[in-house]
Amino acid sequence: MVILTEVIVSLIVGGLLWALFDLYAFKAKRVRSKLEKQGIKGPFPSSFLQGNIPEIKKIHIQQHAKAMAVDGGGVISHDWTTKVFPHLHQWRTQYGNTFMYSSGNIHFLCITDPELAKEVGLYTSLDLGKPSYLSKDRGPLLGQGILSSSGAYWAKQRKIIAPQLYPDKVKDMVTLMLNTAGSMVQLWKSKIDNSEGCVDIKIDDDLRSLSADIISRACFGSNYSQGEMIFTKLRALQGFMSKASIGVPVLRYVPSKNNREIWKLEKDINSRIVEVVKSSNEFKGERNLLQTIIEAAKEDGESNDRWIDIDPSKFIVDNCKSIYFAGYETTATSASWCLMLLAKHSEWQERCRAEVFDICKDKLLDMTTLQSMKTMTMVIQEALRLYPPVAFNVRETQEDMRLKNILIPKGITVQIVIPMMHHQPELWGPDVYEFKPERFAEGTKNACKISQVYMPFGIGPRICAGQQFAMAELKVILALILSRFSFTLSPTYRHSPTFGLTIEPKYGIHLHVKKL
């Protein structure tokens, strides 16, 4: 009996090892073979379990050492992608505009070819969905919400959430945005009054607090006191998750210090969102986005034809986290970059301020006046080109499919590197690294040779549902600041874009601010 048990255990262990070997070694070999036959190459995985992760780390260490040896002299350069993503730059130079690499068992087809990126954007089938690693490796942050799900489940979520962020809904939120942003303006005024007319402000935290308050009030009906800890902990969770490698499933379950912090934060965030949901159930005012999500989950739970295959409470929590993360972090970061660029380019700061005064005069800001701000729109679009908050547009092939002239196997993660698309001289001209808002004078379609490569809000059917909300919020924030203050870059400002799931200023953005 003991021998039989040992044999069974050995067979099970052997089967698991074989499955693991097939997943990592044989699948990788099959994928490489199919792509190499089509002329697509890439670095050979040096690790059985990690793929090219060791090479990525090595290249980043070398780049860091090189950066430490070079003194920038306070110069602000918008050519930052080679420093932040040195591995992609090196492999693009070595293997061409389209190449492959792997992170654990995730096989990437990395695209910097604009024509291929355009075709990905025009592809509307649900067979090209979001990668599964977003809901697994990034699961504590995103779950299976609208940002990370695929197929019919994603389509249903989009149908529920997107209409709540259409322009006709956003226009009713502008007054709320104004009132909320007014509190930050008063805070800055108080700081200036106490500092003899000028103050050095690190704007990042203030903008995050403001963005958090706006998304909380506009979409969830709760005040900032209820959402404050959710945003603080989401920010902390983002930091821990940015340190975790993707594609090595076993690492997610190892009780390392980083993972323990992730698990703790995930549990805490989920419970706090549940509390916000409970308070929303008691709210008798106007229907908001959170109540729309709750009602969808409730209706599904009572339906015989269910479309949610997971616990409805998880559906609510996951989508709340998606909206909190997307509506809070990316908008605050984009506002920071906009103000940095306006601080550096005083002539554009003056032009935007003049436009605000000319359009608004004695009127309050509303959707009509915001849409009339052409100069402001150009500045925001150019800031999003130079510093897109999201670095990658990723899709996963649910079936074998052909894009352009490439047959892409099922299970491949198609990765478009957004900043590399935004910084190609061949598309934007020799002044690609200059801040020139006028390139958007005739809109995004005429700003470069292939309009589909401009993708700060994504591309195709999965373009950001909150795009109109984000643009309105950015305009409200900038218009209020410009109408009350003038500002320049502080001498303490250190320009160092970094990637921590979003493209953000590593040392924050410091401005010298004066009242007008």
What is residue 378's predicted lDDT score, i.e. its pLDDT? Answer: 97
- The single-letter DSSP state of residue 327 is H
Ranges in the chain, pLDDT < 50: none
Q: Which residue has the tokens 């999965």?
A: 462
What is residue 16's predicted lDDT score, i.e. its pLDDT? Answer: 57
What is residue 264's predicted lDDT score, i.e. its pLDDT? Answer: 93
What is residue 85's predicted lDDT score, i.e. its pLDDT? Answer: 95
Instruction: Tell me the domain boundaries of the chain.
Output: 19-149+165-203+329-515
- The single-letter DSSP state of residue 26 is I
Distance CA 52, CA 105 (A): 10
Q: Would strands 401-403 and 510-515 be described as parallel, antiparallel, or unpaired?
A: unpaired
Distance CA 462, CA 125 (A): 11
Phi-psi category of 96—alpha, beta or left, where left has phi over 0 and alpha has psi -120 to 50? left
Contact yes or no for 45/28 (Cβ under 8 A): yes
What is residue 434's predicted lDDT score, i.e. its pLDDT? Answer: 96
Q: At what angle do helices 374-386 and 312-344 cross, to 10 degrees?
A: 100
Express each pLDDT in 29-84 by its tens digit. 788 889 999 999 999 988 777 889 999 999 999 888 777 655 555 678 999 999 99
What is residue 287's predicted lDDT score, i.e. its pLDDT? Answer: 66
Contact yes or no for 54/47 (Cβ under 8 A): yes
The SS3 assignment for 439 reads helix
What is residue 472's predicted lDDT score, i.e. its pLDDT? Answer: 94
The fold of 19-149+165-203+329-515 is: Cytochrome p450 (1.10.630)
Measuring CA to CA, which residue among 377, 392, 380 is closest to residue 336?
380
343's CB contacts (< 8 A; 6+ apart) are 349, 487, 488, 489, 511
How close are the terminal C-alpha atoms of the chain, in Å?
A: 88
Express each pLDDT in 145-173 by its tens digit. 888 888 888 888 888 888 888 888 888 88
Contact yes or no for 185/484 (Cβ under 8 A): yes
What is residue 461's predicted lDDT score, i.e. its pLDDT? Answer: 85
What is residue 481's predicted lDDT score, i.e. its pLDDT? Answer: 96
Q: What is the pTM of this model?
A: 0.90
What is residue 139's predicted lDDT score, i.e. its pLDDT? Answer: 86
